């Protein structure tokens, strides 16, 4: 009887242990599934965040002091000094006339696929694509000018030209850059909002981009951007004009970046930069005849320098009609 009683106790203990092991196994399985579900949820959030970052970049959240898009609300805003860059393809309408809609999309995406990464490599972000145009924002003027030069250099390379076109016309861009205080934040309405920057500084950057066609240059930037360069000696630039753009009363001095141009043109413009500066000083003080003489010499040495040709025309005009007592050399731009 003692043996049977001991065996019964042993069987009970084994049964209890098995039940405990079964419960523990079930508990571990539930914990495993919970862990997998949690891991899956985290991966989903990460994937969602990465997907949203293709529309609203992470650096935008950083500027707003937010960790992710989940923390962003309509009306969130912050004021910062930033640099805005506008880049636009020259004569895009003419380029696209001979392309089908699909070819146009392929063309634009190939072009943007080369330009966009340069913006991010320079620690900026693309605020928006406007057709073939790019609006990008950078923390500093130095980063924006560096990106602009890289964009133009890569675009003008033979390999790049072959990759983004299937016609005989070369692809050129105009880039305008300005620095100033911007309001960065979210706009729209509850069910559809967008991140953007708003400021007169943005409008001026867009105006400068438009002026690149007028002067026949690739990169223009404002004096505010020039003064914001932490190491201006890294770049070859020249003062180009002192203008009031449409919708503005305050004049702005504009500079041309010479880096990134085709080598023969870049070298000629660098060599003539001191002479152009001397001619601009004559022009500013109303000394039109000596200014015209220097500009003609610059144009003779570099026929691609449309700015010199423009100044020759201006000098001829004012030599005929005269200048007033309030002359300051500022040119009023009537177009956008």
- Separation CA 203–CA 198 (nearest Å): 9
Q: What is the pLDDT of residues 175-203, one digit of tens each?
A: 999 999 988 877 777 777 677 788 889 99
- Separation CA 139–CA 121 (nearest Å): 13
Indicate the SS3 state at residue 1.
Answer: coil
Q: How much is the pLDDT for 267?
A: 93
Is residue 132 within 8 Å of 164, Cβ to Cβ?
no
* CATH superfamily placement of domain 75-261: Nucleotide cyclase, GGDEF domain (3.30.70.1230)
Which portions of the chain are predicted below pLDDT 70? 1-15, 17, 40-42, 44-58, 61, 65-75, 158-169, 193, 335-336
Q: What is the pLDDT of residues 254-282, one digit of tens each?
A: 999 999 888 889 999 999 999 999 999 99
Q: How much is the pLDDT for 302?
A: 93
Q: How much is the pLDDT for 262?
A: 86
Q: What is the pLDDT of residues 127-147, one digit of tens each?
A: 888 888 999 999 999 999 999
For residue 303, with 0-12 CB atoms within 10 Å meaning exposed, 13-18 middle and 19 or more buried, which class applies? Answer: exposed
Q: How much is the pLDDT for 9?
A: 61
Is residue 156 within 8 Å of 145, Cβ to Cβ?
no
Q: How much is the pLDDT for 191?
A: 73
Neighbours of 34 (CB within 10 A): 10
């Amino acid at each position: 009887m003692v043996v049977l009683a001991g065996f019964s106790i042993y069987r009970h203990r084994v049964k209890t242990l098995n039940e405990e092991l079964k419960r523990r196994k079930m508990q571990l399985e539930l914990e495993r599934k919970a862990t997998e579900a949690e891991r899956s949820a985290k991966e989903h959030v990460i994937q969602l965040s990465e997907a949203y970052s293709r529309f609203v970049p992470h650096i935008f959240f950083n500027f707003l002091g937010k960790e992710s898009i989940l923390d962003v609300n309509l009306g969130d805003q912050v004021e910062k000094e930033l640099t805005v860059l506008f880049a636009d393809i020259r004569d895009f309408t003419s380029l696209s006339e001979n392309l089908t809609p699909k070819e146009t999309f392929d063309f634009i995406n190939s072009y943007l696929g080369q330009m966009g990464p340069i913006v991010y490599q320079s620690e900026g972000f693309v605020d928006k694509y406007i057709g073939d145009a790019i609006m990008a924002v950078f923390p500093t003027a130095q980063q924006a000018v560096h990106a602009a030069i890289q964009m133009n250099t890569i675009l003008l390379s033979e390999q790049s030209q072959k990759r983004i076109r299937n016609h005989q016309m070369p692809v050129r861009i105009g880039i305008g850059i300005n620095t100033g205080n911007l309001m960065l934040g979210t706009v729209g309405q509850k069910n559809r909002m967008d991140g953007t920057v708003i400021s007169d500084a943005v409008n001026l950057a867009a105006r400068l981009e438009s002026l690149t066609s007028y002067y026949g240059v690739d990169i223009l930037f404002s004096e505010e951007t020039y003064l914001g360069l932490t190491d201006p000696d890294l770049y070859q630039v020249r003062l180009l004009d002192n203008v009031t753009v449409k919708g503005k009363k305050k004049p702005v001095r504009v500079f041309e970046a010479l880096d990134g141009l085709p080598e023969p043109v870049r070298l000629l413009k660098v060599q003539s930069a001191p002479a152009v500066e001397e001619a601009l000083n004559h022009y500013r003080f109303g000394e039109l005849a000596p200014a015209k003489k220097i500009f003609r010499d610059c144009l003779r040495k570099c026929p691609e320098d449309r700015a010199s040709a423009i100044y020759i025309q201006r000098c001829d005009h004012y030599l005929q009609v005269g200048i007033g007592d309030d002359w300051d050399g500022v040119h009023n731009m009537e177009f956008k």
